[in-house]
């Protein structure tokens, strides 16, 4: 799986982007400059547009299912029928030949009902792909945001206090980092999914089939990936003159961390966020494909690919459609991430590792 | 025996040990129904073809667990062991219903038990030799059964063979096992003394655990099965690549019924391909058979059905698929709630998940068709009376849920993650929600699902499972899966998943077992009553009885399907 490495430019003065003159940026705040650079980047804007489109259609899944496909994408329809070109046909069709073995789901009708055909339980694939997008995006965005927030907070604490606090937190992150991501995620998921009564943290109860389970697992395994570069930034910023000045004026630790250091390292997290989302969506899909992410009858792109795996020979669209959605989403987020990086931090190095 | 997947992947060896009380294990062995191959042009009992050649079979992976014949509990290895080894008696080696009959094998005849079913006397045939050239003697027989205990982890030593006098002591202290009182050898005569009558003793002697081995076989797991008396001998057993048997030069056919000479010179099973690739190999004639342990992907069925109908063989199995309802945990500790789910289940929809009516038949009861004691019985259907399931009765189901007062309760539906079983689980999540429960899925890897669902500590409310007969006897289903003694609290080896224990039903089981020692026919009638009584109490939602689909290459002639051993490899010709 692709991983990314982000090497931020040490925080400091305003940097010119390629093709940008000093006059153009004079008197503009860094955020305004970044917005302006992003708006000029047509490729990044197109990627953002694509991502927004995917989000909109995914979150419009209930409307599609109810008003266009007229189906419940989570209920099986094994004995169901549908109308194609005015003819009533069975959703699951008995195999041909003299033996009539097997039941094959209906293929793409390219009509409002069963646009992409049915899966092996007679459910509308198109409606499930859209619903699956909702789950994948929620988990992807949720876990990426959680990972970034947790990493940012821990990095602030570790980088600011240094010493034993830094040592403990950094070794903890090293410990998590030392596990292969999928091994750790699979282990956690297996334990959490088999807990007979779910998870109970004080008054908070998480059912094993809840979307929170994959969200929290994925967030946890990616915290170190964000923590490390941000901690480096915090250590660097903490030595800046303006921080020294604030200390000399008696600013509290909280004020120093959140008022002086945080605004100067948050861009690192913002640059990483789109790429984190892309990565977490891929991770969620992989876990769900292995049946340890989103639990059926809920759908995510990974679970639909899993369902489609057994139909690759006769009904390839069941697996191809969510695959295309994953590719488009990850591609758009990667390109958007590049654009955000160029806008916020033009000299930073960011690369995808195969 | 439990075979969580002939229909999916292989299993864990540890689960095979679970088989206590008659063979619960998550393995791939078993036996089938009592009727012969149907629906194929290339039917069973074809005239045998020419001798020679190599029959190349394919399996995704090697048989799970040890290759030792007294430990291994997989159909995959048993299909080879039955052509390399023999017991004192055996199942008749033919396709069709006759394949469940017990015939004399190394013994000259099938003995009639005496002393209230506690004594069996066998006379060994003269001159039968192992593949190492040594002659089979009574001492080999006694040593074989002592080894069964000494080896320490033979799955059914403590549940089937401990009935031999001295067997219980052997279970307690395997290393010093001495069956001198239980097995008395006098020249070619071997007498078994049992501690109590056992109506299924002969059938248990016909299984590979009891196949006779040379007396000098070490009492530890072997890496390749030791010499046997069959028409083939083991020449290769590499779990990562292949297992192979070739002709035994010392074999001379002594009974066509028990151990007919084989046709191919070599029979090989190669491992490592995906099932999809295996099917393609058989289509192309590069391999001859997809092993029963690998399920032919549903995706390929329409293609095979239309292009290769003569190479497909569909046969009924002695098997039942079911959802166990935990009778000790709400809501299914309530009989009305259990009956409600039974009434609501649309078994025709489930048949579709299993591949259509050619591959599965709806059922409501524990015993599968063709098993002794089976009489069609289905109270959980619209318009009951015919004994067959016709349609769900949702109105009655909802009425029962209401009467039970269990509506609104949370229910976790347990199944494994293989395609078919996950779909079954999803179906029940939807159904239970429709009935007014709050159902959620709990799908676990096939490797851990079976031990998990058995353990009462996990409080599984409703869980998928299946069962394949070890041999054709009603007790192998009813007593093992629903008898009081088969429920072991907090154990992964508790085949009574429903935790069902009803005093009246148990009394009927005990009576039928006792009757079977003297009068099998009456006993079978009594087992019919037990089946009905159990079905009425609804500890399960019995789903379907599945059929076995075999796919052979175009060069395979003479396919025969034994209900006990499935495809009889050595009886097929590839020349």
Map tokens 């042009």 to a residue.
B41
Tell me, yes or no, if B126 comes closer than 8 A to chain A by beta carbon.
no
Residues in chain B within 8 Å Cβ distance of A190: 445
pLDDT band at residue A31 using 50, 70 and 90 as cut-offs: confident
Higher pLDDT, B471 or A350: B471
Name the closest residue on chain A to residue B429, using Cα atoms: A297
Per-residue pLDDT tens digits for A48-72: 999 999 999 999 999 999 999 999 9
Could you tell me if A294 and A284 are in contact, meaning their C-beta atoms sit under 8 angstroms apart? yes
Could you tell me if A166 and A159 are in contact, meaning their C-beta atoms sit under 8 angstroms apart? yes
Interface ipTM: 0.76
Indicate the helix (H) or strand (E) that contains A32. helix A30-40
Distances in Å between the Cα of B212 and the Cα atoms of B19, B84, B140, B171 are 22, 11, 7, 20
User: Once rounded to an integer, what is the mean pLDDT over residues A120-128?
Assistant: 94
> 3-state SS of chain A: helix, strand, coil percent to 5?
60, 10, 30
- Tell me what pLDDT residue A297 has: 80
Does the pLDDT of residue A8 top 70, yes or no? no
Per DSSP, the residues of A269-303 read HHHHHHHHHHHHHHHHHHHHHTTSSSPTTS--HHH
Tell me, yes or no, if A210 comes closer than 8 A to chain B by beta carbon.
no
How far away is chain B from the Cα of A80, in angstroms, using its nearest Cα?
10
- Tell me what pLDDT residue A349 has: 53
Could you tell me if A65 and A127 are in contact, meaning their C-beta atoms sit under 8 angstroms apart? yes
Per-residue pLDDT tens digits for A168-217: 999 999 999 898 888 888 888 878 777 766 677 778 777 777 888 899 99
Contact A101 B302 (CB under 8 A): yes
φ, ψ at B557 (rounded to 5°): -120, 150
φ, ψ at B267 (rounded to 5°): -125, 125
CA distance B545 to B244: 32
Tell me, yes or no, if A201 comes closer than 8 A to chain B by beta carbon.
no
How far away is chain A from the Cα of B449, in angstroms, using its nearest Cα?
10
Could you tell me if B141 and B88 are in contact, meaning their C-beta atoms sit under 8 angstroms apart? yes
Residues in chain A within 8 Å Cβ distance of B303: 313-314
Q: Distance between the two ends of chain A, CA-based, in angstroms?
A: 7
Could you tell me if B328 and B484 are in contact, meaning their C-beta atoms sit under 8 angstroms apart? no
Per-residue pLDDT tens digits for A252-292: 999 999 999 999 899 889 989 999 999 999 999 999 998 88
Could you tell me if A4 and A279 are in contact, meaning their C-beta atoms sit under 8 angstroms apart? yes
Residues in chain A within 8 Å Cβ distance of B38: none
How far away is chain B from the Cα of A137, in angstroms, using its nearest Cα?
22
| Bridge partners (DSSP) listed for residue B57 | B269, B289
How far away is chain B from the Cα of A354, in angstroms, using its nearest Cα?
27
How far away is chain B from the Cα of A134, in angstroms, using its nearest Cα?
19
Residue A145 CB-density burial (10 A; 0-12 exposed, 13-18 middle, 19+ buried): middle
Provide the sign of the torsion angle of the four alpha carbons B342, B348, B353, B354, taken in this order: positive
How far away is chain B from the Cα of A220, in angstroms, using its nearest Cα?
22
Find residues 261-290 of chain A whose CB sits inside 8 Å of chain B: none
How far away is chain B from the Cα of A95, in angstroms, using its nearest Cα?
5
Find residues 45-84 of chain A whose CB sits inside 8 Å of chain B: 74-76, 78-79
Higher pLDDT, A20 or B362: B362
Choose among B276, B303, B440: nearest Cβ to A209.
B440
CA distance B345 to B91: 37
Contact B301 A196 (CB under 8 A): no
Low-confidence ranges of chain B (pLDDT < 50): 3-46
Share of chain A above pLDDT 90, in %: 60
Tell me, yes or no, if A209 comes closer than 8 A to chain B by beta carbon.
yes
Residues in chain B within 8 Å Cβ distance of A97: 302, 304-307, 309
Choose among B440, B444, B445: nearest Cβ to A207.
B440
Nearest to B325, CA basis, from B312, B315, B314, B339: B339
pTM of the model: 0.81
Contact A297 B430 (CB under 8 A): yes
Name the closest residue on chain B to residue A119, using Cα atoms: B423
Q: How many residues does chain B have?
A: 575
Tell me, yes or no, if A318 comes closer than 8 A to chain B by beta carbon.
no
Contact A97 B349 (CB under 8 A): no
């Amino acid at each position: 799986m692709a991983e990314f490495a982000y090497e931020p430019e040490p925080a400091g003065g305003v940097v010119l982007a390629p093709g940008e003159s000093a006059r153009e940026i004079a008197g503009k705040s860094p955020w305004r400059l970044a917005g302006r650079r992003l708006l000029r980047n047509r490729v990044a804007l197109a990627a953002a547009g694509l991502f927004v489109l995917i989000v909109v259609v995914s979150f419009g899944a209930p409307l599609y299912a109810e008003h266009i496909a007229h189906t419940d994408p989570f209920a099986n329809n094994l004995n169901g029928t549908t109308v194609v070109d005015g003819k009533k046909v069975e959703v699951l069709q008995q195999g041909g030949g003299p033996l009539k073995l097997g039941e094959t789901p209906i293929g793409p009708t390219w009509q409002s009902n069963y646009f992409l055909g049915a899966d092996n339980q007679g459910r509308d694939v198109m409606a499930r792909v859209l619903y699956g997008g909702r789950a994948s995006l929620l988990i992807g965005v949720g876990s990426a945001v959680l990972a970034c927030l947790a990493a940012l907070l821990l990095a602030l604490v570790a980088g600011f206090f240094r010493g034993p606090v830094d040592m403990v937190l950094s070794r903890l992150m090293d410990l998590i980092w030392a596990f292969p991501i999928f091994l750790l995620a699979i282990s956690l998921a297996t334990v959490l999914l088999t807990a007979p009564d779910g998870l109970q943290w004080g008054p908070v109860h998480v059912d094993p089939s809840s979307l929170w389970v994959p969200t929290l697992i994925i967030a946890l395994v990616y915290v170190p990936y964000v923590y490390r570069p941000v901690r480096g930034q915090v250590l660097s910023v903490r030595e800046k003159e303006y921080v020294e000045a604030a200390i000399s004026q008696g600013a509290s630790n909280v004020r120093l961390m959140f008022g002086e250091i945080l605004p100067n390292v948050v861009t690192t997290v913002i640059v990483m966020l789109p790429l984190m989302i892309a990565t977490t969506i891929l991770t969620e899909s992989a876990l769900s494909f292995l049946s340890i992410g989103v639990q059926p009858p809920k759908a995510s792109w990974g679970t639909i690919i899993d369902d489609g795996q057994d139909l690759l020979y006769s009904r390839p669209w069941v697996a191809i459609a969510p695959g295309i959605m994953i590719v488009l989403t990850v591609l758009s987020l990667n390109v958007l991430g590049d654009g955000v990086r160029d806008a916020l931090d033009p000299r930073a190095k960011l690369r995808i590792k195969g | 025996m439990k075979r969580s997947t002939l229909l999916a992947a292989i299993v864990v060896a540890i689960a095979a040990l679970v088989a206590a009380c008659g063979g619960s294990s998550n393995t791939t062995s078993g036996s089938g129904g009592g009727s012969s191959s149907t629906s194929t042009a290339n039917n069973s009992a074809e005239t045998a073809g020419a001798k020679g050649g190599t029959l190349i079979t394919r399996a995704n992976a090697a048989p799970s667990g040890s290759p030792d014949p007294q430990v291994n509990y997989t159909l995959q290895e048993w299909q080879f062991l039955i052509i390399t080894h023999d017991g004192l008696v055996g199942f008749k080696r033919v396709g069709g219903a006759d394949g469940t009959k017990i015939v004399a094998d190394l013994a000259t005849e099938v003995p009639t038990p005496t002393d209230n079913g506690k004594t069996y006397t066998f006379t060994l045939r003269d001159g039968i030799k192992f593949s190492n050239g040594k002659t089979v003697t009574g001492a080999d027989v006694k040593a074989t059964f002592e080894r069964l205990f000494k080896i320490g982890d033979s799955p059914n030593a403590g549940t089937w063979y401990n009935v031999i006098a001295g067997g219980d002591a052997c279970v307690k202290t395997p290393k010093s096992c001495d069956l001198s009182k239980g097995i008395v050898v006098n020249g070619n005569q071997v007498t078994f003394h049992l501690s109590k009558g056992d109506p299924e003793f002969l059938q248990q002697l016909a299984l590979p655990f009891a196949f006779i081995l040379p007396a000098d076989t070490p009492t530890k797991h072997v890496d390749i099965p030791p010499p046997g008396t069959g028409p083939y001998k083991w020449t290769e057993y590499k779990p990562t690549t292949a297992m192979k048997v070739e002709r035994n030069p010392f074999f001379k056919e002594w009974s066509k019924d028990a151990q007919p000479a084989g046709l191919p010179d070599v029979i090989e099973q190669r491992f490592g391909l995906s099932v999809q690739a295996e099917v393609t190999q058989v289509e192309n004639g590069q391999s001859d058979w997809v092993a029963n342990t690998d399920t032919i992907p549903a995706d390929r069925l329409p293609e095979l059905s239309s292009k290769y109908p003569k190479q497909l063989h569909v046969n009924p199995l002695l098997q039942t698929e079911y959802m166990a309802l935990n009778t000790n945990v709400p809501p299914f500790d309530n009989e009305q709630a259990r009956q409600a789910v039974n009434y609501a289940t649309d078994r025709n929809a489930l048949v579709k998940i299993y591949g259509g009516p050619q591959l599965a038949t709806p059922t409501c009861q524990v015993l599968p068709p063709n098993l002794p004691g089976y009489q069609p019985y289905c109270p959980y259907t619209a318009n009951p009376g015919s004994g067959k399931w016709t349609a769900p009765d949702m109105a009655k189901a909802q009425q029962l849920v209401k009467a039970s007062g269990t509506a609104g309760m949370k229910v976790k539906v347990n199944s494994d993650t293989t395609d078919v079983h996950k779909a079954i689980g999803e179906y029940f999540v939807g159904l239970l929600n429709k009935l007014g429960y709050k159902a959620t899925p709990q799908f676990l890897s096939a490797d851990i699902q079976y031990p998990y669902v058995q353990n009462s500590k996990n409080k599984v409310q409703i869980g998928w499972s299946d069962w394949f007969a070890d041999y054709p006897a009603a007790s192998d289903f009813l007593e093992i899966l629903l008898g009081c003694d088969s429920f072991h609290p907090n154990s992964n080896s508790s085949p009574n998943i429903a935790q069902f224990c009803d005093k009246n039903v148990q009394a009927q089981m005990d009576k039928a077992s006792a009757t079977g020692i003297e009068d099998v026919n009456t006993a079978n009638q009594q087992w019919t009553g037990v089946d009905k009584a159990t079905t009425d109490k609804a500890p399960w939602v019995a789903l379907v009885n599945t059929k076995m689909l075999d796919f052979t290459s175009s060069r395979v002639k003479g396919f025969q399907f034994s209900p006990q051993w499935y495809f009889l490899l050595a009886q097929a010709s590839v020349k």
